[in-house]
Amino acid sequence: EMSLPAAGLTVTITAGPTREPLDPVRYLSNHSSGKMGYALAAEAAALGASVRLISGPVALATPAGVERIDVESALDMQAAAEAAASESDLFIGCAAVADFRPATVADHKLKKQSGEKQMQVTLIRNPDIIAGIAAQTQARRAAGQRAPLVIGFAAETRDVLRYARDKLARKQLDMIVANDVSTPGLGFGSDSNAATLLWQPLDQNTQHEQAIAACPKTELARAILKRALALH
Ligand code: C5P
């Protein structure tokens, strides 16, 4: 393909899980594979964009032409994402950020005591990275400053569109990619996905939803970027 519709654009993408440390050898995390975020990064680069991929720990190769920034915790991911966002035209939050982290991180490996039958770990809420970037985006737009189009994901097991519409509004996103992760063979860890794209403004007079049938994540990535470029 000769035309590069994203040439000159800077795209920042978060991908993969975060790891929330408990002590020097242990962490809390999730099963995110990073495949969707990496597919988006590869497609955006193929469309000519300059791509920064802020990645949690995953077992994937860096796509050709993509600048990868490796992070572990949600706080590290937030710092990298906020530094990149205001310089970007498009921000896509694809990472499965841990909602909570251990309130304290022990300096040394925690030792079990003999006879100890249970232990308690206090968790505290992590910042919502994309909501913070979207709020900053609203402020920058109001001040006439450069700000990215902000796109989030909503992985749900029920009431997918209802929760996604709520997230789109509550987090002040420009677009959300809603997908049902309860469908066997799709979503988490899989190479395929089905989704509905929902975007602002949510009024009755304009079309603002697009269903995308089950397809490889690379194809879904292309559809998301095509819609994003149309909204940009
Ligand atoms: O609220 P929920 O976690 O379902 O929202 C998912 C969307 O929000 C994704 O785009 C995800 O990357 C983003 N998110 C975030 N920081 C968090 C939690 C979610 O950026 N702490």
Residue whose CA is at the smallest distance from ligand 1 atom 2: 154
pLDDT score, position 212: 96
What secondary structure does DSSP assign to 89-135, as a single string? Answer: SEEEE--B--SEEESS--SS---PPTT-------EEEPP-HHHHHHH
Q: What is the ipTM of this complex?
A: 0.98
Reported confidence tier of residue 186, pLDDT bands at 50, 70, 90? confident
Q: What is the reported pTM?
A: 0.95
Nearest to 225 by CA among 137, 123, 94: 94
Mutate to test the pocket of ligand 1, among 76, 130, 167 (most ligand atoms within 8 A of CB): 130
Contact yes or no for 164/209 (Cβ under 8 A): no
Average pLDDT estimate for 63-75: 98
Cis ω for the linkage preceding 201 (within 30 of 0): yes
* The pair of three-digit structure tokens given for residue 125, joined into one six-digit string: 């809420």
pLDDT score, position 183: 81
Give strand pairing partners of 27.
21
pLDDT score, position 179: 92
Residue 1 has pLDDT above 60, yes or no: no
**What are the tens digits of pLDDT across the range 208-227?**
999 999 999 999 999 999 99
Average pLDDT estimate for 181-198: 85
Q: Ligand 1, closest atom to CA 98? A: 21
Contact yes or no for 11/88 (Cβ under 8 A): yes
**What are the tens digits of pLDDT across the range 87-133?**
999 999 999 999 999 999 999 999 999 999 999 999 999 999 999 99
Reported confidence tier of residue 203, pLDDT bands at 50, 70, 90? low
Q: Any catalytic annotation for residue 193?
A: no
